[in-house]
Structure formats: structure tokens, C-alpha cells
Amino acid sequence: MRPDLHIELGGGAILRAFTDADAEALFTVIEANRVRLARWFPWVDAATDASSQVAWIEARAGDPRSLDANGIWVGDQLAGGCDLLIRPVDDIGELGFWLDEEFVGRGLVTRAAQLLIACGFEQEELHRVQLRAGVENLRSRAVAKRLKMREEGVMRGAGKVGGGMYVDLAMYGLLVDDWRLTR
Amino acid sequence: MNQLLWDLGDGLVVRTYVMDDADELFALVDASRERLRPWMIWEPTTTTVADTRAFIRSCLDSTDYEGNGLWRDGRLIGGIGLSLDTLANSGEIGYWVGDGHEGQGTVTRACARFLDFAFDELGLHRMELSAAVANARSRAVAERLGMREEGVARDGCRVAAGYLDLVSYGILEDEWRARRGER
């Protein structure tokens, strides 16, 4: 993560890296959305209290290249998260995001992802950004389409979600050359 | 540290590398370098026996099953490993063979043993295998194992000459059991 990451998203929204002081707010939003998020994400069960979130934020500080552990904030309210994990062995980035239910449908994730991807390609010289989304997670897949990512396949049973269930994941990819053409 | 030792019959053995294997492993990689270079991401970073020692050490220190040799009549003929994605309860298998040892079905036999291990002993839900689209021999292994082709990640990995399209294969626990005739 980049502790100094701070990106204006417009309309009073920002994307900035979490600090330990955000752990309580982060846990509160996850708790309020627990069942919704557990439908698609494997990490929800590990969010047991605020201190679990402190541990996660501190662990992510050990990866100084990735653009991850970021919150989307609207005013002083935490609206969600958007991450770009970087695989140093081949300069490929993996995108991930989630939202509090109250903030769905405002384009916040699309905007945050666009700006993180731009950082990844321009500053980190990534070659490819990829995203995996539950096949039935139509909102996430709509974000991938808006980001001009190309659907490349479906990995059956590749996502373990809440309650020990498995979901098929659609895989999307965006190459730096294609991204430049869309700009 | 997870150590494996499997006798597959006909003089074929899968055994976790120990530090004493470094010289033999490096010699086989070095002798097979030209054939491995187009496909193996680790070929350019394996230039001395010290690199091989560091690789074995990192395998011995990890909780995956990545560093194993494929031995025939006591001689190293290739390598095979399993890496875990604990959040997804899945694993990925990877392999290579040295010059002169291709085309004998040894990799397929070793992979089948790894699939048994993954589903029967580790309780995984899914196993994956990725191969360069143009690497017909590697893809034939996945196909012989009954793994299903699920997609192509464009420029999904980087080797010495640049990026390669990567085809991904998957097989689920119930599919492997059905293949073994357990239903």
C-alpha cells in the first residue's frame, strides 16, 4: 500500500489509503454490509472486529508497491474500497473493489478504478490489469465493461465466499496498449 | 515446511527438494535452458547454483508444496509443484522436464498424484493449471488429466522474451472423483 495515496474523485469524494485510525469505521461499514459482501468476497469472514482491520492495514504496509488498502470517502463517510495489487514478477495488476450499499450507483467505483488504473499504467509501468468478478455479480461486471476491460474466460468455482459456498469468476483483462487507445 | 515423498512405480518418484539437491537441480536446468527459456518465468533468474539454493530454501520455508523433483531411477528428470490459494481453497500446479525426458508421460502421472493429494488430503475444491497458449506439450498434460479449458489471459505472464498469452485450465473436486470412477 501507499500510505500517502490521496486522489480526488470529484463531487467531494476522495480515494485515500487507510490508516490505523480508520479501522473502526472500516469494520463498522463491513459489519453493516456483511451478508451483501459475503455473497461475493472471501475476506469478509476475517473481519471480526476493528483490531482485525488494524492487522490487515498494517500487513498491507509490507507491500510498498501495490496501490491497495484504500478507502473511498464521501466527505468523512467511508463509502467503500478500491485496490490495485501489483505482482512484481511480471508487472501485472489485480483490481478489486466494494461499496457500502448506500453509495451504490453513483459511479464512485468506476471513477476510483479509472484513476488507480491510470496510476498503475503510468507510474508503475504495468503491462496488464486484470479483474475477477462473480459471474452473477452484474454490478461488478458492469464496472469492468465501463473500464473497457475484455472478458477472457470463466473460472468455475474459483471464488470461495461466505458460508463455504463457491462462485464462478469471470476474468477480465486490460492491456496497457489498449488502455492508451481508449484515452 | 511440507515434504512429499511418493513412489509412483516404475522407478518414478516425486520428492521434495532438500538443500543437497541444489547441484543436480541446477545442472539439469542449465543443460535444458534453451528449451525452458520460451516458457519458464524463472529461467532468466536461475543463473547460478546459488539461485537454485535460494529457491530450495524458499520452498522449504513456505507453506505451499512448490519445490519437488521428479526422479527416475534415482536421477532428477524434472520439477513439479503445487501452490495454494487458501482464501479460495484452490491450488495451482506447475511443472517442467529436463532435456531428453519429454514425451514419456511422467509429468501426467505425477500431476495425477498431485490431484489426488489436493482433493483427498488437502480437501481443496478446485485445481488450476496455466500454460502458454503455444506450449502444446504442456497443454496436452492438462487435457490428458481431464482439466477443462476456461479462458485465455492475454499477456498473462512474462518470460525472458516478453509476455505470453496464458490458457487456464480448471478441474473441480467432484470432476476428478468422477474421472476416477467414484460415482
Which domains are present in chain A?
6-182 (3.40.630.30)
- Chain B residues with CB under 8 Å of A89 CB are 41, 158
- Asked whether residue A19 carries a pLDDT value surpassing 80, the answer given is yes
Strand ranges inside B30-161, DSSP E: 65-72, 75-85, 90-97, 126-132, 148-159
Q: What is the pLDDT of residue B35?
A: 97
**Axis crossing angle, helix B22-36 with helix B49-61, rounded to the nearest 10:** 110
Rounded average pLDDT over A129-135: 98
Band of pLDDT at residue A169, cut at 50, 70 and 90? very high
Q: Is the pLDDT of residue A182 over 90?
A: no
Task: Please tell me the distance in Å from A43's CA to the nearest CA on chain B.
Answer: 8
Question: With 60 as the cut, is the pLDDT of residue B1 above it?
Answer: no
Contact call for A155 and B150, based on CB within 8 A: yes
Q: Residue A181 has what pLDDT?
A: 93
> Does residue B182 register a pLDDT over 80?
no
HSE, side-chain direction, 13 A CA sphere, residue A86: 21
CA closest to A132 among chain B residues: B153
Q: ipTM higher than 0.90? A: yes
- Give the residue-averaged pLDDT of B97-101: 97
For residue B66, the tally of other CB atoms under 10 A from its CB is 21
pLDDT over 70, % of chain A = 100
Cα-trace Rg, chain B: 16
- What mean pLDDT is predicted for residues A128-140? 98
Phi, psi of B142 (to 5 degrees): -60, -40
CB contact under 8 A, A153 and B126: no
Q: What is the pLDDT of residues B49-87, one digit of tens each?
A: 999 999 999 999 999 999 999 999 999 999 999 999 999
Contacts with A, B 48-87, CB within 8 Å: 87
Inform me whether the pLDDT recorded for B183 exceeds 80. Answer: no
How many other CB atoms are found less than 10 A from the CB of residue A11? 10
| Mean pLDDT for the stretch of residues A66-76 | 97
Express each pLDDT in B24-52 by its tens digit.
999 999 999 999 999 999 999 999 999 99
Percent of chain A with pLDDT over 90: 98
Confidence of residue B181 (pLDDT cuts 50, 70, 90): confident
Alpha-carbon distances, residue B71 vs A120, B16, B46, B60, B131 (angstroms) = 43, 10, 20, 18, 22
Yes or no, beta carbons of B154 and A150 under 8 Å apart: yes
Report the SS3 class of residue B146: coil
Chain CA centroid to CA A40, Å: 13
Select from 3.40.50.10330, 3.40.630.30, 3.40.1190.20, 3.30.9.10 the CATH code of B5-179. 3.40.630.30
Residue ranges per domain, chain B? 5-179
CB < 8 Å to B125, chain A: 157, 160, 166
- B172 with A91: Cβ contact below 8 A: no
Tell me: pLDDT of A3 over 60.
yes
Quote the pLDDT of residue B150: 98
pLDDT at residue number B2: 78
Core vs surface per residue A35-45: b (16+ CB within 10 A) or e: ebbbbbbbebe
A60: confidence class by pLDDT, cuts 50, 70, 90: very high
